Amino acid sequence: MSNPLESWIEEQRSAYLYRVCADAEAGTARADLFTRLAGEAEAQGAIWRAQLTASGKPAPPPFVPDLRTRLVARLVQLFGPRRLRAVLAAMKVRGMAIYSRREPGGHSAPIAGNIEHRHRGLGGGGNLRAAVFGINDGLVSNASLIFGVAGASSDPAVVLLTGVAGLTAGAFAMATGEFVSVRSQRELFEYQIALERDELKEYPDAEAQELALIYKAKGLSGSEAERVAKQLVADPEHALDTLAREELGLNPDELGSPWGAAISSLLSFALGAAVPLLPFAMGAGARALPIAGLLTAIALFAVGATLSLFTGRAAVFSGARMLLLGSLAAAVTFAVGKLFGVSVT
């Protein structure tokens, strides 16, 4: 069970941010949604306040937003709720799912042209997509590093050492970043779902009303929205999952394993970074750089062509685009190496 004082503060903070979101969305249907959600949050806060006083503890003082809340409110005023939806969801501001195309009680609907995100959160094939992007990151970054150093020094040993260092540092940086990202996402979900579990026990009707408001904002009629919301909240097995998706905009299916994400990122980055390094590791001598360039070009085209599986574009177009961009990066770093190169002794 949550601490009544902490829960009261949570609801008051949510109500404050709802009103900020309503002001930012003034003149739209979303403004009405956020205003109504602010009222619901204040009503739920009153329940926790009553529990607090009923237990013999003093009533809380008037709510004053803390520094974090004021900072988020200012960012919402500057950039709008849509761009701050992840931050707002973390602060228990519900209804962020209205900024994505979702079916009531279900998963995100497919959106054409919205496939080329980065590593996760894009539906089926996410693991393969993450691996391809990891390979591409390692390939482009280490090839650029190797060509930059090769422009400054003709010593293959120096280039090899730099490439190995780039592979190692980049792979562990990617692994660390993925671990922290996935772990943080999971912690966010676990924290929010614990709050929802407590609130479902305390005021299930209020939770259903909040859910109905979100469905109304998505276009359902009032009676249909209320019927769907009550039916979903009445099912304990799916209620928490539904509330996480529809009220908080969280997707439990995209959490993943922090260690799995870290290891996958490390290996995929290292695989891509090893491609331009191979000729130097195998002692190709003066031919190492042109061979590295050829291998990198082939790999870039292959990565781009593979990405066409997720974008729907022609494989030749995607491959050529990736080859062009990667070649440009390598050429720029090579030129910089030539310009600022020093002799290595």
pLDDT digits (tens, 9 = 90+) for 208-234: 777 777 777 766 777 787 777 777 777
Contacts of 149 (CB under 8 A, 6+ apart): 158, 159, 162, 163, 337
Identify the pLDDT of residue 343: 44
Q: Read out DSSP for 68-133?
A: HHHHHHHHHHHH-TTTTHHHHHHTT---GGGGS-B-TTSPBPP-TT----SSS-SSTTHHHHHHHH
Bridge partners for 102 per DSSP: 108
Q: With beta carbons less than 8 A apart as the criterion, state whether 318 and 331 touch.
A: no
Q: 62-96: buried (b, 16+ CB within 10 Å) or exposed (e) per residue?
A: ebebeeebeebbebbeeeebbebbebbbbbbbbbb
- Reported as a single tens digit per residue, the pLDDT across 251-293 is 666 666 788 888 888 999 999 999 999 999 998 888 888 999 9
Which position has the token pair 């009220």? 247
Q: Report yes or no: 165 and 142 within 8 Å, Cβ to Cβ.
A: no
Instruction: Provide the percentage of residues in the chain whose pLDDT is more than 70.
Output: 78
| pLDDT confidence tier of residue 1, bands split at 50, 70 and 90 | very low
Structure tokens at 196: 């929802």
Instruction: Report the distance separating Cα 244 and Cα 257, nearest Å.
Output: 19
101 pLDDT above the threshold of 60: no
The pLDDT of residue 248: 60
Is 9 within 8 Å of 63 (Cβ atoms)?
Answer: yes
**238, two tokens:** 């799916």
Cα 82 to Cα 34: distance, rounded to the nearest angstrom: 13
Q: What is residue 120's predicted lDDT score, i.e. its pLDDT?
A: 45
Query: Would you state the pLDDT for residue 111?
Result: 31
Q: Which residues contact 272 (CB under 8 A, 6 or more apart)?
A: 134, 135, 136, 137, 138, 139, 140, 142, 299, 303
Torsion of Cα atoms, 73 then 77 then 82 then 85, to 10°: -10
Residue position matching structure tokens 């479902």: 200
**Tokens found for residue 46:** 């009153």
What SS3 state is found at 307?
Answer: helix
pLDDT (tens digit per residue) in 174-201: 889 888 888 877 777 777 677 767 776 6
Retrieve residue 152's tokens: 């400054």
Segment 46-58, tens digit of pLDDT: 888 888 888 888 8
- Which of these ranges, 13-22, 30-39, 302-311, has the smallest mean pLDDT? 302-311
What's the confidence (pLDDT) of residue 113?
32
